[in-house]
């Protein structure tokens, strides 16, 4: 070394540089945002229009698949992620939608350890009289595993040409909100095939 230039040694650069880090972040962002975009463009599977019973139908939104019957081989059961929708025609109840809701709430309360209901609401579904209520229930898993959890749900009763249509939807606590628009659209689609 010369007297004019002091002995300076530079420390080696360790780890990724800022430019490399920025490049990796851009690639990750492109993959994530591209996946979200594709999710909206590619059509999700759908059960389409399904028969609840007789001539009464419900139109499933994209992403909802038919996974079986609702109960005792009657009605339909749809699923999207961890949310479920059951729709049946209950021949054992009749009257106004509000009358049917009272009976169905009692039935739902008998089957679960603890159910809390919100306020009953009257509505019109298409051209049909309807009543609904939101609920929260503590449930135990089937199969004797002893697992319990809380679900959020909606119970909707619609009188379609004199038939008592009962729709219940539920998901783990906090998850029902993610499908609330789908549920509203599917419930509005309940009607008679002519």
Q: How confident is the model at residue 41 (pLDDT cuts 50, 70, 90)?
A: very low
Which is more confidently placed, 86 or 46?
Answer: 86
Residue 12: pLDDT above 80? no
- Examine the domain organization and report whether 118 and 180 are in the same domain: yes
What mean pLDDT is predicted for residues 91-99? Answer: 94
- Examine the domain organization and report whether 37 and 96 are in the same domain: no
- Examine the domain organization and report whether 122 and 66 are in the same domain: yes
Which is more confidently placed, 144 or 123?
Answer: 123
What mean pLDDT is predicted for residues 164-182? Answer: 95
In a domain, 4, yes or no: no
Spatial contact of 120 and 149, defined as CB atoms under 8 Å apart: no
- Examine the domain organization and report whether 28 and 79 are in the same domain: no
- pLDDT-above-90 percentage for the chain: 58
Residue 51: pLDDT above 80? yes
Give Dmax (Cα) for the chain: 105
- Examine the domain organization and report whether 133 and 97 are in the same domain: yes
- Examine the domain organization and report whether 128 and 162 are in the same domain: yes
Q: How confident is the model at residue 108 (pLDDT cuts 50, 70, 90)?
A: confident
In a domain, 3, yes or no: no
Which is more confidently placed, 77 or 194?
Answer: 77
Q: How many domains does the chain have?
A: 2
* DSSP character string of 35-94: HHHHHHHSPPP---EEEEETTEEEEPPTT-EEEE-SBTTBSEEEEETTEEEEEEE-TT--
- Examine the domain organization and report whether 80 and 162 are in the same domain: yes
Which is more confidently placed, 10 or 149?
Answer: 149
Task: List the structure tokens of 145.
Answer: 């595993």
Residue 114: pLDDT above 70? yes
Domain that holds residue 127: 49-192
In a domain, 79, yes or no: yes
In a domain, 134, yes or no: yes
- Examine the domain organization and report whether 140 and 175 are in the same domain: yes
- Examine the domain organization and report whether 35 and 79 are in the same domain: no
Residue 79 sits in a domain whose CATH number is 3.40.1000.10
- Examine the domain organization and report whether 170 and 103 are in the same domain: yes
Residue 38: pLDDT above 50? no
Q: How far apart are CA 119 and CA 48, in angstroms?
A: 31
Number of residues written out for the chain: 194
- Examine the domain organization and report whether 36 and 69 are in the same domain: no
What mean pLDDT is predicted for residues 33-51? Answer: 65
Residue 50: pLDDT above 60? yes
In a domain, 93, yes or no: yes
The pLDDT value recorded for residue 167 is: 96
């Amino acid at each position: 070394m010369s007297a004019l230039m002091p002995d300076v040694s530079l420390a080696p650069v360790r780890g990724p540089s800022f430019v490399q880090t920025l490049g990796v972040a851009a690639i990750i962002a492109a993959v994530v945002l591209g996946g979200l975009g594709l999710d909206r463009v590619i059509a999700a599977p759908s059960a389409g229009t399904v028969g609840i019973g007789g001539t009464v139908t419900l139109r499933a939104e994209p992403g909802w698949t038919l996974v079986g019957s609702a109960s005792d081989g009657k009605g339909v059961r749809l699923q999207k992620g961890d949310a479920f929708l059951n729709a049946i025609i209950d021949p054992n109840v009749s009257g106004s939608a509000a009358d049917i809701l009272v009976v169905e709430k009692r039935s739902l309360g008998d089957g679960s350890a603890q159910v809390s209901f919100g306020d009953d609401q009257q509505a019109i579904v298409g051209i049909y009289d309807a009543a609904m209520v939101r609920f929260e229930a503590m449930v135990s898993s089937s199969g004797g595993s002893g697992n319990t959890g809380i679900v959020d749900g909606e119970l909707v009763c619609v009188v379609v040409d004199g038939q008592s249509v009962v729709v219940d939807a539920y998901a783990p606590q906090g998850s029902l909100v993610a499908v609330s628009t789908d549920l509203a659209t599917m419930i509005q689609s309940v009607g008679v095939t002519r």
